[in-house]
Amino acid sequence: MTNQNSALHGIRILEIGSLVAAPSATRIMGDFGAEIIKVEPPEGDNLRLWGSLAANGSSWWWQMQSRNKRLVAIDLKTAEGQHLVRQLALHADAVVANLRPGTLRAWGLDYETLQAKNPALIYVQITGHGLTGPYRERPGFGNIAEAMGGIRYVTGFADRPPVRTGISLGDELAALYAVIGTLTALRHRDTTGQGQLVDVALTESVLSLTEAMLPEYLNQGIVQERSGNQLLRAAPSGTYPTRDGSWVAIGANSESTFAALAKVMQRSDLLDDPRFGDNPHRVRHADDLDRIIAAWTVKWDGGPLVDRLAEGGVPAGLVMSARDIAEDPQFLSRNMMVRVNNDEGSEVGMLGVVPRLSATPGQIHSAGGAVGRDTRQVLHALLGMNSGELQALADKGVIR
């Protein structure tokens, strides 16, 4: 049950998605009070079995990803299941989907079909490549988007193959754009009464983060290559070793922060060195500068080094593992690790709510639960189906 003072209270979103992108988008909006009705197949979303599993058989990731959601299990491969979801869409403010467009069209769950019956409906379609163009029917996952969107090409060291980040970056970026698109379209609907289609491509979501990479090529023909831990356009900005085996990220690439770093290092001579006199020169001689900084950082343990840099006004932070994050006083003070009860009454640890709102903060009411936990309640409340009708559908395997 959402709080009536929540920012998105009164907004109902129907999720027709699986795994990462669409479920991540609805999770964020659910944190801020939107009613999320997640439709998954009777056997459950695949994410239930991704990663380490809890005693109840569902992954820890699933239990965070599906928090605050009403879980409805419907077999969309059946005509009756498709009809049920079309009926649910009549009661929704928005649909967020990341199943393949051709599949959704075949099931009568595409934008055109649903919007014809509900003109105010906002329909957010997340695909690998977008709904137009020669690749529109190609399947796509986050790793493909990261490759085609340019991030993989520039990630890693010049003498080694491209590498991936350790998370589903493409999917999570698309989720954020899906949230932005949904909220923007809701604002438009509030003033016009008209819904619309929000077309989110994983590839374009990744591409949007590549900063100067494309403008520099389009305007000057520069192809950005892999540069390891160096930031190509400003220096110093790298990751440096410490005495205790940890790593520290330092960003001292403005004139004032570089001066502050030189002071903390007790190396005022660096400010007079013509190689480091301004940012363009520092970028040109970044390897030399990084060697000098690394020779200094390795004399310190990570924690005391970060404290020393912070006291001197130099942006710095440890490269943190999950254990480091869970024990970090800053993250703890901002409730970034929370524990939420699941259906069995056990506590599930998970990430807190981002971002923080002063007047209408997000809330977590429940962890993701069993397949079909809310099917009958939702179909009764929204479609007026009685217990006999619901049991008949369950007996046929249409719902769970």
- Structural element, H or E, at residue 389: helix 387-395
Cα of first residue to Cα of last residue in the chain, in angstroms, is 22
Q: Which domains does the chain have, with CATH numbers?
A: 12-208+333-395 (3.40.50.10540), 237-241+247-318 (3.30.1540.10)
Output the average pLDDT for the chain.
Answer: 95
Do residues 297 and 241 touch, judged by C-beta distance below 8 A?
yes
Q: Does residue 46 have a pLDDT over 80? A: yes
The stretch 2-19 carries a mean pLDDT of: 91
Can you tell me the distance from the alpha carbon of 68 to that of 33, in angstroms, rounded to the nearest whole number? Answer: 9
Which listed residue (75, 110, 171, 199) is catalytic?
A: 171
Residue 394: C-alpha distances to residues 42, 69, 369, 388 (Å): 10, 21, 19, 10
Among residues 61, 47, 62, 6, which one has the least CA distance to residue 30?
A: 6
Question: Where does 242-330 show beta strands of DSSP type E?
Answer: 247-251, 316-318
Can you tell me the distance from the alpha carbon of 394 to that of 400, in angstroms, rounded to the nearest whole number? Answer: 6
Task: Read off the amino acid at residue 89.
Answer: A
Can you tell me the distance from the alpha carbon of 355 to that of 372, in angstroms, rounded to the nearest whole number? Answer: 30
The stretch 349-366 carries a mean pLDDT of: 96
Instruction: Describe the crossing of helices 169-192 and 21-31 by its angle, rounded to 10 degrees.
Output: 50
Tokens of 76: 């969309």
Which pLDDT band, with edges at 50, 70 and 90, does 2 fall under?
low
Q: Report pLDDT for 37.
A: 98
Give the contacts of 342 (CB within 8 A, at least 6 positions apart).
54, 56, 63, 348, 366, 367, 368, 369
129-170 pLDDT tens trace: 999 999 998 988 999 999 999 999 999 999 999 998 889 999
Residues in the chain, overall count: 400
Can you tell me the distance from the alpha carbon of 356 to that of 346, in angstroms, rounded to the nearest whole number? Answer: 26
Q: What angle do CA 2, 186, 140 make, to 5 degrees?
A: 95
- Structural element, H or E, at residue 71: strand 69-73
Tokens of 284: 């040109």
Q: Report pLDDT for 228.
A: 85
Task: Read off the amino acid at residue 358.
Answer: S
Q: Report pLDDT for 354.
A: 96
Do residues 48 and 62 touch, judged by C-beta distance below 8 A?
yes
Q: Report pLDDT for 165.
A: 87
- 171 counts as catalytic: yes
Q: Does residue 231 have a pLDDT over 90? A: no
Q: Does residue 252 have a pLDDT over 70? A: yes
Q: Does residue 267 have a pLDDT over 80? A: yes
**Burial state string for 132-151 with b = 16 or more CB within 10 A and e = fewer than 16:** eeeeeeeebebbbbbbbbbb
Can you tell me the distance from the alpha carbon of 335 to that of 68, in angstroms, rounded to the nearest whole number? Answer: 17
Percent of the chain with pLDDT over 70: 100
Residue 37: what are its φ and ψ, rounded to 5°?
-105, 105
- Structural element, H or E, at residue 305: helix 302-311
The stretch 255-284 carries a mean pLDDT of: 96
196-226 pLDDT tens trace: 999 999 999 999 999 999 999 999 999 999 9
Residue 342: C-alpha distances to residues 58, 193, 362 (Å): 11, 38, 18
Q: Report pLDDT for 1.
A: 55
Q: Report pLDDT for 270.
A: 97
Do residues 368 and 24 touch, judged by C-beta distance below 8 A?
no
Give the DSSP letter of residue 303: H
63-83 pLDDT tens trace: 999 999 999 999 999 999 999
